């Protein structure tokens, strides 16, 4: 039997093409001799920053990614399922399994497209990634402090402030941890710091939020609620009350009422007696007493032990018990005798509501100030009110 070799070869090729098409292997070329793949899927997709959400799956086309404030750009690495397919990232061709050129990230939302074109040139798939870059960050993420102490936190902008940027601050529980209402990042800077302060005893776990536009990063301040030493506790120490830290709990210790909290003093012709604590943490104040008794016939003195004292000067010493008397002398510590000066001699009666004070019969008197209808002279100032 004689075989037609050419017919046998063509028949075998036709059968092979039919089998490939039936199995989804591609499209027959117009020449009829080759089959082109229609596989436009990815077998892998990775990023240089952040992570895809959801995790990559060849059949999932839409993803999101969150990067840090420090990530000013990102690269995408796509891997095609069919070696003959081509891929572009943001319309720029990329070799399968290789990273794209860095793509600049603006603050906020950034859309990235990954387009895979199958070997047949017509079948394609579009994978989309939405990358979000925050405009402000808050660090550190966790601060551990003891009760009544403070933690320093830092806000960082994605770019230096142009004209002073205010970042709003808040605490999840201001009764436990307080922060200022806001912090300003000064012009030309990208960072500013502030304090988060524990203001109550007891453990706490509070969230601090920094808000700028649509971005609201958070940080956690963990308060142990325990003091290690008395200086960890709020307030200040005094002679009558000191802070204590007993079994990691803040408290106070009050000095007894017999405890002296202020020494006796002689200063400026006045005597101040020693002061004592009241037993409840307060030093009882003592007002100074003038040692000047206003008597020209005594010598005034001050003693830390006995306070003010007055001793008589020698009898017969000249004294002036009044500007309107003359020739008076001291006798047993008192100014006695003397004769009235001439009436009309100027004097001072120590009354702010008189004027033109003059001596009359050994006494000093002045003319009352005239205030007019409805007004009264005030002795303390001499003003008519």
Rounded to whole angstroms, the Cα distance separating 130 from 234 reads 49
pLDDT single digits (tens) 268-320:
888 988 899 999 999 988 888 999 988 889 999 999 888 999 999 999 999 87
Termini Cα distance of the chain: 148
Does residue 32 carry a pLDDT above 70? no
Three-state secondary structure call for residue 31: coil
Is the previous residue joined to 54 through a cis bond, with omega within 30 degrees of 0? yes
| pLDDT at residue 331, rounded to an integer | 93
Which class would CATH give 136-223?
mainly beta
Rounded to whole angstroms, the Cα distance separating 254 from 278 reads 9
| pLDDT at residue 25, rounded to an integer | 47
Rounded to whole angstroms, the Cα distance separating 383 from 372 reads 12
Rounded to whole angstroms, the Cα distance separating 264 from 256 reads 19
Which class would CATH give 42-133?
mainly beta
**Residue 13: which H helix or E strand, with range?**
helix 5-22
Q: State how far Cα 379 lies from the chain centre.
A: 52
Rounded to whole angstroms, the Cα distance separating 153 from 167 reads 13
Tokens representing 124 are 């394609």
In this structure, are residues 351 and 379 in contact, taking their beta carbons and an 8 Å threshold? yes
What are 250's strand-pairing partners?
245
pTM over 0.75: no
Three-state secondary structure call for residue 67: coil
Distances (CA, A) of 204 to 117, 147, 363: 56, 9, 77
pLDDT class for 27, splitting at 50, 70, 90? low
pLDDT single digits (tens) 222-255:
887 667 788 877 788 999 999 998 877 788 999 9
User: Average pLDDT, whole number, for the chain?
Assistant: 88
Q: Measuring CA to CA, which residue among 154, 158, 181, 186 is closest to residue 168?
A: 181
């Amino acid at each position: 039997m004689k075989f037609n070799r050419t017919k046998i070869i063509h028949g075998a090729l036709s059968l092979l093409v039919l089998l490939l098409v039936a199995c989804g292997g591609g499209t027959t070329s117009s020449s009829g001799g080759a089959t082109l793949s229609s596989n436009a899927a990815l077998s892998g997709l990775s990023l240089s920053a952040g992570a895809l959400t959801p995790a990559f799956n060849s059949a999932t086309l839409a993803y999101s990614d969150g990067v840090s404030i420090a990530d000013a750009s990102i690269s995408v690495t796509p891997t095609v399922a069919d070696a003959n397919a081509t891929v572009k990232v943001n319309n720029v061709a990329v070799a399968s399994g290789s990273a794209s050129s860095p793509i600049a990230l603006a603050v906020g939302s950034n859309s990235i497209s990954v387009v895979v074109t199958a070997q047949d040139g017509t079948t394609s798939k579009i994978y989309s990634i939405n990358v979000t870059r925050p405009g402000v960050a808050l660090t550190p993420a966790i601060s551990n402090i003891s009760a009544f102490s403070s933690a320093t936190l830092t806000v960082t902008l994605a770019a230096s402030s142009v004209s002073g940027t205010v970042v709003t601050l808040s605490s999840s529980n201001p009764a436990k941890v307080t922060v200022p209402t806001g912090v300003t990042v000064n012009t030309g800077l990208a960072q500013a710091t502030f304090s988060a302060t524990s203001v109550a005893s007891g453990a706490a776990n509070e969230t601090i939020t920094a808000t700028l536009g649509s971005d609201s990063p958070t940080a956690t301040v963990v308060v142990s609620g325990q003091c290690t030493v008395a200086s960890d506790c709020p307030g200040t120490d005094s002679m009558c009350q000191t802070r204590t830290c007993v079994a990691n709990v803040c408290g106070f210790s009050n000095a007894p009422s017999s405890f002296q909290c202020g020494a006796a003093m002689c200063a400026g012709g006045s005597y101040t007696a020693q002061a004592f604590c009241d037993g409840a943490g307060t030093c009882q104040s003592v007002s100074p007493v003038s040692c000047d008794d206003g008597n020209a016939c005594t010598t005034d003195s001050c003693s830390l032990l006995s306070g003010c004292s007055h001793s008589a000067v020698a009898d017969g010493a000249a004294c002036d018990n009044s500007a309107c008397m003359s020739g008076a002398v001291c006798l047993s510590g008192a100014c006695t005798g003397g004769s009235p000066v001439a009436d009309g001699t100027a004097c001072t009666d120590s009354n702010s509501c008189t004027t033109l004070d003059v001596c009359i019969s050994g006494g000093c008197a002045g003319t009352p100030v005239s205030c007019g209808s409805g007004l009264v002279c005030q002795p303390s100032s001499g003003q008519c009110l």
